[in-house]
Structure 1
Amino acid sequence: MDWYLKVLNNYVGFDGRARRKEYWMFVLFNILISFVLSLLARLLGMSWLSSIYSLAVLLPSIAVSVRRLHDTGRSGWWFLINFIPIIGFIVFLVFMCLEGDPGMNRYGPNPKEFAP
């Protein structure tokens, strides 16, 4: 949960780098929260509930994705590859799974070196 909150605390921080763990923990908690909110929305008849959450985490999701791309040495503009149907998502998924650059790169120091 700390990783999820770390991303939310850096709400629209596009600078720097994000570890794989930070990115994937954020994705995991996003999926879990969305699932629970969808269930609640169906039970309570409030279909707008999950939509509000999705809008609230849209910018942090993009920001952590861009920082993850930075960790692999790529520009944040690579995020736009998602707009290419099927192939774009697969390429983006591979980028998110790759290990980050060791040491310093042009986007900052390796976040693993400062990890607890």
Structure 2
Amino acid sequence: MDFKQSVLHCLRDNYAQFEGRAGRPEFWWFMLACLLASTLPAALNLTWLGLLLNLALCVPCMAAGSRRLHDIGKSGWLQLLWLIPVAGWAVLVFWLAQPSDGANDFGAVAAK
């Protein structure tokens, strides 16, 4: 899955879909798009636009993270580890970078 497909898939098809699975390319390309989208208004000193954009991207980012954790056989609730500085972040980045574990309780392997 390339950059455009990942962004469209997460925003159009799975905006608030917390069930299912998301492969590494889908998740990481979408996170890159969210990072770029949130830094551009800040660089242009348009704080109100950045705030609205981050608010609009909050749900699809959480949904993509949940589906990515499902892909490695973990619960989407583990995203709450983001609330633990440094240690929680390190654990989550490690998990999110892991390859798929094959078929699990959350369904078949995510499309690539």
Q: Deviations over 1:19-76 (max 9, x none)?
A: 0000000011111222222223x1xxx3211010000000000000000000000011
Distance 1:97 1:70 in 2: 13
**Hey, what's the Cα distance between the residues in 1 that align with 2:83 and 2:38?**
22
May I ask how many residue pairs the two structures share in their alignment?
108
Identity %: 36
Secondary structure at the aligned position of 2:100 is classed as coil
Q: State the TM-score, normalized to the length of structure 2.
A: 0.90
Partner residue, 2:86: 86
Q: Which runs of 4+ in 1 moved over 6 A?
A: none
Counterpart among 14, 25, 35 of residue 21 in structure 1 = 25
Q: Name the structure 1 match of 2:101.
A: 101
Q: What TM-score does the superposition give when structure 1 sets the normalisation length?
A: 0.88
Matches within 5 A, 1:1-116: 1-9=4-12, 10-40=14-44, 42=45, 46-102=46-102, 104-112=103-111, 115=112
Question: What is the RMSD of the two structures over their aligned residues, measured on CA atoms?
Answer: 1.1
Q: Rg larger in 1 or in 2? A: 1
Partner Cα distance (2:70, 2:94) in 1: 14
- The answer as to whether partners of 2:18 and 2:63 remain within 8 angstroms in 1 is yes
